Amino acid sequence: MDYYIQLKKANCKNCYKCIRNCPVKSIRFADHQAHIVKDECILCGMCFVACPQNAKQIRNDIDKVKAMIASGKPVYVSLAPSFVAKYEGADIKTMEQALMKLGFQGASETAVGATIVKRQYEALIKERKNSVIISSCCHTVNTLIQKYYPEVLPYLAPVSSPMQSHCSLLKEQYPDACTVFIGPCISKKEESDRYPGIVDCVLTFEELSLWLEEASVTIEAAEHLPSKEGKARLFPTAGGIIRSMTLELDDYDYIPVDGMENCIHTISNLLKGNLKNCFIEMSACVGSCIGGPAMGRDQRTPISDYIAVNRFAGKEDFDVSQPDAEYLQKSFPFTGTKKFMPGSTAITEILHKMGKSSPEQELNCGSCGYNTCRDKAIAVFQGKADLTMCLPFLKEKAENFSDNIIYNMPSGVIVLNENLEVQQINRAACQIMNIKNDRDILGSPVVRILNPTGYLEVMTTGKNIRDKHTYLAEYQKYIEETIIYDKNYHIIISILRDITKEEKIRLKKDEISRQTIEITDKVIEKQMRVVQEIASLLGETTAETKIALTNLKETLKNE
């Protein structure tokens, strides 16, 4: 069977918020996914509520209940008293009508079972067998103590929960029936499985709302006034158990504690021996059950919910017979966890790998989800975390890596803000502009060292400039500059390549070429003159020869 809280892998985004909110750190992070460590989990549901990506989901048991109904057996609902906070305007009669449309045989209030439980608490207090008694209605609190605080087990009231007491009563009234508890709690699913034969299935309010929507069933507003009975309907509010009880002992303290952090602190206080003669009402959820994880993600209205439950509660107890104490008996064995704790040497080695070589470097920032760096190191040893979860370490490592690359780049790099003030400058840029120390220019306007025209142009047009050749007369340097404007980070990056040597070589080559061309032109011009002179002399000689030969020819003819 699937676990009660499941992960939607695609949605997990490495935020570690579930780890931060888990009071017992029962989450293992591997392969960029959060995984619940089942034997350590206490099913408080805080990871489900806290997840910003809705990557956690509660196991859906609607089909299981539908199968029960389809089997032909009568199925009765035990409805948690917090339903009046979840379904505005409803009462038990209108809720029963809606549930019967879904196929249930009937429904009644878990508060009836709560009446039985609170009477048993009163009896235990009168017996004074234990100086301190902790209420055992909240299965998450019970599981916390069973797994992590075995020394506190004797203080847990050995009494079944209201859910169990009521479902047992329903099975007495309807011997062949199945029982389904519906409420705002995730851990009740596990309680049902751990103590089989009493509650056949548990649905959350979220599951019920989904089923009602699928079946197009609406819950009508109640036309009835709340009954005088139902004092135990206060159970789902902080201090509600105590308010429903008859308090007869003046030398006894009655203390409501809600929220996992407060519960853990109270248990620690109890272990120190600081508490005596008191009844402690413990609820894992802040505000008690009306603050349950399955009340609905969008329903976090503690004051309105408290008022709704308070107004619905009666002033008197339900008229229900009290079973024998043995019938209500419930045991809480130590279940423990399978944690292996590292020694101090192993912790130190892991801390060093995280860049924590001294106590001063242990920031204990909690960004990884763990309260301290040492807690994180222990989690790494246990295979529940990895080194990359230390965000300050990764940030520093990335920054050092980035700074190291930029600082040692052969090209100059200048980073400006949108006010054209120098935010970063590397060694090569300092060499180009003869800056002895980068601190001399950091935070200063770039106009102190460069013409800002190009940077203003890029910001105005949004078009980057690439490989622009510029002569810096002040520094007698030729550069090839690329200017990039990053609108998302509001910075301008200038990359400068010193091309002075190449440019001088090019200019020298150009000068040599020019001089060669000039010399060639002169040589050609001179040669042309010589050719012309030769041609002229040859022309005169030819004419004279022609005349002489013609005369000779004429003479010969006459003879």
Quick: pLDDT tens for 451-506: 999 999 999 999 999 999 999 988 999 999 999 999 888 999 999 999 988 888 88
**pTM score of the predicted model:** 0.74
Highest CATH level, class, for 409-498: alpha beta
From 157, 373, 127, select the one nearest 280 (Cα to Cα).
157
The span from the CA of 261 to the CA of 266, in Å, is 9
Give the other-Cβ count within 10 Å of 544's Cβ: 9
Structural tokens at position 113: 């079972």
Q: What 8-state DSSP symbol labels residue 386?
A: -
**Residue 383: what are its φ and ψ, rounded to 5°?**
80, 15
Of all helices (H) and strands (E), which one includes residue 498?
strand 491-498
Q: Does domain 339-395 have CATH number 1.10.15?
A: yes
Residues in CB range of 113: below 8 A, 6 or more apart:
78, 161, 162, 163, 164, 165, 166, 167, 168, 169
Structural tokens at position 118: 């609170």
The span from the CA of 270 to the CA of 273, in Å, is 5
> Quick one: pLDDT at residue 267?
96
pLDDT digits (tens, 9 = 90+) for 138-164: 999 999 999 999 999 999 999 999 999
Q: What number is the average pLDDT over the span 317-324? A: 93
423: pLDDT strictly greater than 60:
yes
pLDDT digits (tens, 9 = 90+) for 8-41: 776 787 788 899 999 999 999 887 788 899 999 9
The span from the CA of 385 to the CA of 377, in Å, is 8
| DSSP-based three-state secondary structure for 387 | helix
> Quick one: pLDDT at residue 379?
86
Q: How confident is the model at residue 275 (pLDDT cuts 50, 70, 90)?
A: very high
> Quick one: pLDDT at residue 395?
64
Q: What number is the average pLDDT over the span 300-329? A: 92
**Residue 334: what are its φ and ψ, rounded to 5°?**
-75, 125
pLDDT digits (tens, 9 = 90+) for 96-143: 999 999 999 999 999 999 999 999 999 999 998 899 999 999 999 999
From 24, 199, 210, 390, select the one nearest 190 (Cα to Cα).
199
Q: Does domain 1-59 have CATH number 3.30.70.20?
A: yes
User: Domain map of the chain by residue range?
Assistant: 1-59, 60-328, 339-395, 409-498
Q: What number is the average pLDDT over the span 413-424? A: 93
Instruction: Calculate what percentage of the chain has a pLDDT beyond 90.
Output: 61
> Quick one: pLDDT at residue 371?
85
